Chain A
Amino acid sequence: MVLSLLGLRRRKRDGDEEYLAVQDVETLPRRRLTLVLGLAVGLATVPLVMLYVLLVLSSFADQMLSGPDIFTARYSLENWRLLFEGRLEPAAGRLYTTRDLAMIVANTLLVAAGVTVVVIVTSVMAGYAFSRMRFWGRRRLMEFIILLHAFPGVALIIAVYAIYVWSLGLVPREAITGYRFLYTILARAALEIPMSIWLMKGFFDRIPWEVEWSAMIDGASRLRVWWQIVLPQVKPGIAALAIFAFLAGWEDLIYVHVFLYTGGIKTLATFIEEVVGNIETAYLPIAAAAGTLYLLPTIIFFVATQRLLLQAMSGGVKG
């Protein structure tokens, strides 16, 4: 305790190098300041906390909760049972439309996993080229890729959809569902590409090149060096990228709405959209339960990888 007050203890949770040095009393946070700031930030956080608590509580309640009524509502696992049985949208007359929840979750997972794979493969390869190779137009291309991220990619969705409509005619009928998924995954992954390449290049830049250099002098091919020597060293970067890409695919609404929903394929996002869309008839706590279910993987991911995420986000900035 005394040691930690004097700042002599190594603060393991802080990865930054500065913090590994002995910390001076002058830089230690002050107790009263912490109290004031903590209260101020806490006040600003109230709406946020309230929203999440209400959502989760509602998923167990017999009505949508909004504040004072949380003490009068009755709680049970009923909504979750209905959700897992696929008996959703109990309308006014208790007419259940049975839906296959497993299918909806599987669709969502498929999109998220697909986006992850595409983003990782493309940006790990491109990031390596930008970090290690000298080629004509490298600087221009790198600039262009940053510009793409700044570029309104979503504004191009009309043309992306037009290409899709046009290409649909070339796809055999039996493969059309697979094609819808493929197109959604590729189009959504493309949106992540600019930032991911940039992020990956940053990770490659940080690893020393002597080992791969000597391997190449010994006659190993570029591809083998990349696969056997460089890739194992950027595993944390790939992990961060995987999380970002998975969340991007998991969270997506617009692309699944445009490419999958029009084909009758539902994901959790479009399912929630549909349930709340029929606001007159829908039994809303079901939507809250579906929303909570949808939120779960993100929270798990987030808690497990909090440091990695923050690192990667700031890593992308420093380049």
Chain B
Amino acid sequence: MTRPRLNPALFFLLPALILVIVFYIVPLFLSIYISFTPLENWNLHRYLDEVTTSNYERLLYMVRFDPDVGKVVQTTLVFVAATLAVNVLGGLALALSTFLMEERISLPYRVLWMLPRMTPIAVYSLMWYYFFLGDRSGTLNSLLLSLGMIDEPLAWGTDPRLLPESAWAILVIVNGFVGVSFGMVVFYSALRSIPREHVIAARVDGASTWQLVRYVLVPQLRWHIVYVTVWQLLSLITTYAHIFLLVEWGAVDKWWGSTWALYVFNTAFTTSDQGLAAAAATILVIVGALLGLVALRLLGFQRMMQEPRGEI
């Protein structure tokens, strides 16, 4: 009599698979389903039986005619494009600089630039909140006032005369400082793994630092640049945690300062319209999944898949 044996691979995968099923797969389908129901106030017993497309119709209508939702769409596009540029180019610049300078100075810089990523979101938001505070005590205001560049304090994130560019700038700055370290780390470690002979040969041939960067170093980072761009693009589309508090505290304009992901969150948790929020979330999921698939193709993740070893 032999007991049925659990496949060892399944045994090892089970805990992770359960979490993935409960927190990704089931929510995915549930989210799509909720988007077709008029769910309100989390009243799951009352609204979940009705199936309707009205959420999508309302969303479409709002994107076209509701100026506030229109602002969110614009903000999302500008925010993703600008922050992506900052993250990739800034990360590249930082990595090259820290690679080319002496280790004594390079190491502290690399640590410093990792700090925003390591800072708890609430503290990070708090710091920027004071930086852009609208009264005299805000860091930016008090700096500009003492330099004589402005006569009275400005409410940077909410002043209608400065919107929307000022709100966008705040979003890009706040998230840019966090995102730039990802590119820095990836590019830096890639630079460090370039064979030293390439650098030596270029130097012996009399290449200037600029030529070294332009013709030797950057071309070898091509794959990493694609990787960082795709990865950061995917992250930025769903980013909202770092600006959630800035919007909640009123440091930036509610609509010019909201990305689509934050709009989804706020619609679900501060208004009571969960059906609409789920519809907005579903669109986000579709965009994310499509971009993710493109990313897999583009990056050739197949190449990174080693065959298992140690099998008998």
Contact = CB atoms under 8 A, between A and B. Distances in A.
Contacts of B296: 143, 146-147
B8 A133 contact: yes
Contacts of B22: 163, 186, 190
B237 interface: yes
Nearest to B234: A150
Contacts of B264: 155, 158
Nearest to B240: A154
Interface stretch (A77-85, A90-98, A171-179, A209-217): A209-217
A207 B284 CA distance: 39
Interface in B269-312: 269, 274, 277-278, 281, 284-285, 287-289, 291-293, 295-296, 301-302, 304-312
B11 to A, nearest CB: 8
Given A186-B23, A268-B122, A277-B249, A27 B185 contact: no
A54 B31 contact: no
A139 interface: yes
B256 interface: no
Contact of B268 (A42, A141, A157, A187): A157
B64 interface: no
Nearest to A23: B196
Interface string A128-166: 111111110011011101111011111111111111011
Contact of A122 (B16, B269, B278): B16
A165 B309 contact: no
B205 to A, nearest CB: 10
Interface residues of A, number: 125
A37 B213 CA distance: 14
A48 B16 contact: no
A69 B244 contact: no
B186 A314 contact: yes
Given A139-B302, A154-B261, A310-B185, 12 more contacts: A26-B200, A27-B196, A27-B203, A54-B139, A66-B139, A67-B139, A132-B308, A150-B295, A157-B281, A193-B20, A251-B120, A288-B126
14 contacts: A26-B204, A37-B100, A126-B16, A132-B308, A147-B292, A151-B288, A155-B288, A159-B31, A190-B23, A251-B121, A254-B241, A273-B248, A291-B127, A303-B111
Interface of A: 11, 13-14, 16, 18-19, 21, 23-24, 26-27, 29-31, 33-34, 37-38, 40-42, 45, 47-52, 54-55, 58, 63-64, 66-69, 118, 121-123, 125-126, 128-135, 138-139, 141-143, 145-148, 150-163, 165-166, 186-187, 189-191, 193, 197, 205, 209, 212-213, 216-217, 222-223, 226, 247, 250-254, 258, 268-270, 272-273, 276-277, 279, 287-288, 291-292, 294-295, 298-299, 301-303, 306, 309-310, 313-314, 317, 319
